[in-house]
Chain A
Amino acid sequence: MATSLFYILVFPGILFLGLFSLALEFFDRKFHARMQNRKGPPWFQPLADFIKLSAKEGIIPEEANATLFRLMPLLALTAATVSFFYIPLWSTRALYSFDGDLIVVIYLLTIPTLAFFLAGWVSASLYSMLGAVRALTQLFAYEVPLFMAVLSPAILAGSWSLSEIAAFFNDKPLFIIFNVPGFLISLIALLGKLEKVPFDIPEAETEIVGGSFTEYSGRYLAFFRMAVDIEMLVGASLVAALFLPIGLDLHPVAGFIVYILKVLFVVALLSVLRTIFARIRIDQMIRFCWIYLAPLSLIQILIAFIVKGLFLQ
């Protein structure tokens, strides 16, 4: 019982998750800034932002549904946090695992987006509402390619459990190369999920002020930002576990360092993508996802089936 609590609350649980996701936000911001020829924030900036926002007054609009308004940041944070426990990090075994946890993780990762939508919808503000509708519209564009992309490692490994998939690739590391298209698709879908340029359409500052979060302030906003950070960490960990399952049978310390490097690598790729692109329009985004991304993910599944038929029977 005591060890379980330690796992959940301290390491690799909530405390580690919170601090590491703040560190990741710093890395993302600093790297982004350096690529833009800026100096970037100091290392403690994300934590300072969190503390300062938490101390500020949280204002709830009079016409908003106060209960839902307060609940949504917590829901987003909880869902993102829980999904972390099922992902194998530096060994082939996750903290908790069962057959089918891949589906649960993907499902839990969808909940923050739904929370953003509801948060915008109950805010009773035009900008929030537009942002909410955009967030949901965008969800329909990237979610299907993301699902199909993560399906392909599962097909190859013949299991719905993330830990078993990791174990399979640990035995046969060469099969990773067949998943490269899936890796790219999930990176792009992750950009959409995290609402980063070029897919930061739901919170496009120059168009709809702050999107879903326009009316949020104080600790409610702080929790939302924390949820986005944790979502980034979980997303990066998931991509690393599925598509970069290397160094899983090393000594725990070495494995841990490899895990950190893998997550940093994925986040660095996300930073590069958001540096070199302009924000595209919602119609262009949906067209791009359904015309290019969805067929590409179908091809990825086809590759997985063919490879399985040729080499794994």
Chain B
Amino acid sequence: MAKVTIPIGPQHPALKEPACFTITLSGEQITEVDMRLGYNHRGVEKACEERTYLQDIYLLERVCGICSHAHSSAFVQAVEEIAALEVPKRGLYIRTIIGELERIHSHLLWLGVAGHEIGFDTLLMYSWRDREVVMELLARISGNRVNYAMNTFGGVRRDLTPDLCAEILAAVDILEERTKYYIGVVMEEVTLIQRLSGVGYLSHEDAVARGAVGPTGRASEIASDTRKDDPYAAYPYLDFHTVTDNHCDVYGRALVRVGELMQTYKILRQLVQELPDGPIVVKAPRKIPAGEALSRYEAPRGEDVYYVKANGTDKPERVKVRAPTLANLASVAKMMENNYLADVPIILAAIDPCFSCTDRMIETLNMDSRAGRLTDFRQLRQFSINWYKKRGLDFTALNKKLILKQDS
């Protein structure tokens, strides 16, 4: 068969969000990969500058549907650093508990998605059924299944009762037992191992050069974990270790994730048992003093980085979000080299991509010349004015009329 170029995306069953991977095949083997992102740009950073800090928490929690707590925590930490707020220890512990519960539900979700991508739907059904345990628990604690709305400047918004603590411990017991079963499945299931091992190889050197983060990096023996390297929230007081693996392939990434689940259960038990007494929140000022801060947070998919610049008003001057997927996408092209078309979905899924969290810009592409063009905000505004003018609608004139009317 001659060379064929097939598009995976922008709409494709393997992708949960729009992104486009143009893959050149020779038979079934991949010879070239071209990536295009930007279908999901939502202008979150610009929107942040036009809202107050408190409204920004609400907005940033919706950057990602899975690791929502990671994004709001990273933002809140940065603002707390600028405002020099001392968060009470109980608040930090509760924040960490939610973060770790979120990691459980994210990793279990990933396990199911990975199973689905290689046609192992039974694994998807099982792991998502067990994921309900942690989802129900999160709903009991925060009232919500995904956007928990637990964070606020200076602490958290809801307290944990002793009853809830007991429920967390009971749920952790169930989940630990189920995770041990999944470890058994990953270690023993023949077709699963055949489909995962050796696929999407990313050597340690390549991973370092391309800046892989999170489980993707840790499966290539990069022992980096923000919870260890730059401890935040309650992590300085906890005993756990970073899970790494030397397989460097998709199989290694699966092992790292199930291994991390076991560490998470250990962390949760410590957190709940050593939960300190006291207030959960301190009062935060409405206007944040001028300053800037960079905050790092270990989201389930890797390191989440937030940069916040304050100018003394109640609105931030600049908020920069770097989602972990952006750091890992550079490795994807390398991982796909010399693999089969059948492996494309699982290689992509193995970095646990979240394209809507990642997209920060749009590049328009001329379909004939394939030349890219960036449009800034002013140009876009002018384009839209002209577009409407051509169709007989002049908003500038209408605006002027409106202003004249208001003045008279």
A interface residues (Cβ-Cβ under 8 A, vs B): 35-38, 126-127, 129-130, 133, 197-198, 200-201, 204-209, 275-284
Contact = CB atoms under 8 A, between A and B. Distances in A.
Interface string B183-205: 00000010110110000000000
A58 B273 CA distance: 62
Interface stretch (B120-128, B260-268, B279-287): B120-128
Interface string B340-379: 1111110000000000000000000000000000000000
Contact of A278 (B28, B192, B344): B192
Interface string B274-306: 000000000000000000000000000000000
B125 A281 contact: no
Contacts of B195: 278-281
Contacts of B129: 37
B28 A282 contact: yes
Given A130-B6, A204-B119, 14 more contacts: A37-B125, A126-B4, A127-B6, A198-B191, A205-B119, A206-B14, A206-B117, A277-B191, A278-B118, A278-B119, A278-B192, A278-B195, A279-B118, A279-B120
B170 interface: no
B154 interface: no
13 contacts: A36-B121, A37-B125, A204-B119, A209-B13, A275-B122, A278-B120, A278-B192, A279-B118, A279-B119, A280-B195, A281-B195, A282-B28, A283-B340
Contact residues of B: prevailing secondary structure: helix
B12 interface: yes
Contacts of A197: 119-121
Contacts of B345: 206-207
B214 interface: no
B324 interface: no
B1 interface: yes
B115 A278 contact: yes
Interface string B7-39: 100001110000000000000100000000000
B116 interface: yes
Contact residues of A: prevailing secondary structure: helix
Top 7 nearest A-B pairs (CB, nearest first) are A279-B119, A278-B120, A36-B125, A206-B14, A206-B345, A278-B191, A281-B342
Contacts of B125: 36-38
Contacts of B194: 278, 280, 284
Interface in B321-346: 340-345
A174 B340 CA distance: 47
Contact of A207 (B4, B14, B189): B14
Contact of B342 (A37, A127, A129, A282): A282
A209 B189 CA distance: 26
Given A37-B125, A278-B189, A283 B28 contact: yes
B344 A207 contact: yes
A36 B126 contact: yes
Nearest to B199: A281
B181 to A, nearest CB: 13
Contact of B119 (A129, A206, A208): A206
The residue in B13, B118, B123 that gathers the most chain A C-beta atoms within 10 A of its C-beta is B118
A126 B6 contact: yes
B99 to A, nearest CB: 29
A289 B345 CA distance: 24
A133 B342 CA distance: 14
Contacts of A126: 4, 6-7
Nearest to B1: A133
A38 B194 CA distance: 26
A204 B14 CA distance: 10
B122 A209 contact: no
B109 to A, nearest CB: 16
Interface string B121-164: 11101100100000000000000000000000000000000000
B119 A198 contact: yes
The residue in B195, B342, B345 that gathers the most chain A C-beta atoms within 10 A of its C-beta is B342
Nearest to B192: A278
Nearest to B113: A206
Nearest to B5: A126
